[in-house]
Amino acid sequence: MTYSVFTIGQVYLIRAEHDTDLIQFVTDFSQIKEIKTATFTALGALKTANLGFYNQTTHTYEEHFLDFPSELASCLGNISLKDGQPFVHAHAVLIDDHGTSFGGHLIAGSVFAAEIHLFDLKGAKLERAYDPLTDLSLWGVNPD
């Protein structure tokens, strides 16, 4: 097992702007605040969303576009570096007006209203690196 140890730096409570893409909004915020490593949660509502399911056989994302309003019941994510830039990785559970839930990798989501609770983490550099087994860019962690 390998891992890295971080301490909590700034804690941000952020309201995402209406009609922005949630993933791009968090990415832009990270660039402005020079955040390199963080965890975050988000709640609110999305106008549309694009969810992904990673097919472990074909190593491709199967995308599911939700072209209807939904409650953002849960969104968990992290920020690390990929190619030297902040990279946002998030998963979400969305609920439609009938109570049906949809979940997966949040590729994009048009914000109706969203509140983000972000923990900026301080410690070793956490950079994503290509993993040939999964065909994904995963954390390269440094043991302490």
Q: For position 140, what pLDDT does the model report?
A: 84
CATH number at residue 112: 3.30.1330.80
Instruction: Find out whether 101 and 71 touch, Cβ atoms under 8 Å.
Output: no
- Structural domain span for residue 51: 9-122
Q: Residue 101: inside a domain, yes or no?
A: yes
Q: For position 3, what pLDDT does the model report?
A: 83
From first to last of its 144 residues, the chain has per-residue pLDDT tens of 778 899 999 999 999 999 999 999 999 999 999 999 999 999 999 999 999 999 999 999 999 999 999 999 999 999 999 999 999 999 999 999 999 999 999 999 999 999 999 999 999 889 999 999 999 999 986 554
**First-to-final CA distance of the chain:** 11
Q: Residue 4: inside a domain, yes or no?
A: no
